[in-house]
Amino acid sequence: MTEAANSSFVYVTYIRTTPEKLWTALTTTEFIKKYWFGMNIETDWKAGSPWKLVFPDGRVADTGEIVEIERPKRLVLRWRNQFRPELHEEGDARCVMEIEPAGEVVKLTIIHEIDKPGSKFWSAGQKSCRASRRCSKPDRRCPRSANCRAAENNERQATGGRYGYP
């Protein structure tokens, strides 16, 4: 990966926790299964080690290598999609997770980058949701990504049972 990747996606989240607790959540099988559609991660969490994300039925979703690991501050992964041919063909991507205290919360910055202009890799899991602006649980992903029903329920209540906004 070059310094200036051709395609990138950056997001920042603030979480009420400690860096150590967040690190544990991001690197434990139980958390990953709970928030990654029941998937399991296989790795020993050491720099240079391979990792893979496996669906409950045994199919491999993503693979890569742990490029850098500095507990509980920084994790850098080489990442490649394995189950969608059009994304696999884009090649390896890089994911950087940086954890830092920010007063009473922890700031989690995640940077995804790939050396491919107009990459579809990052947009594959990101779908906009007009209901998310009214979501009572904005720290969760939109229901249209099949990860959270809170925004969908809020949208239904806000519109009297209709979906979508005028």
**What contacts 8, CB < 8 A, 6 or more positions away?**
111, 112, 113, 114, 122
- Give this prediction's pTM: 0.69
Same domain, yes or no: 154 and 138: yes
Considering the chain, what percentage of its residues have pLDDT values greater than 70? 69
Confirm if 122 and 9 have CB atoms less than 8 A apart.
yes
Task: Count up the domains in the chain and report the number.
Answer: 2
Same domain, yes or no: 122 and 132: no
Is 166 domain-assigned?
A: no
* pLDDT confidence band for 122 (50 / 70 / 90): low
When pLDDT is averaged across residues 121-149 and rounded to a whole number, the result is 46
* pLDDT confidence band for 121 (50 / 70 / 90): low
Confirm if 43 and 66 have CB atoms less than 8 A apart.
yes
CATH of the domain at 22: 3.30.530.20
3-state secondary structure of 114: strand
Is 165 domain-assigned?
A: no
Same domain, yes or no: 148 and 107: no
- Look up the domain containing 86 and give its range: 7-126
Cα 4 to chain centroid, rounded: 21
DSSP 157: H
> Tens digits of per-residue pLDDT, 81-107?
998 998 899 999 999 999 999 999 999
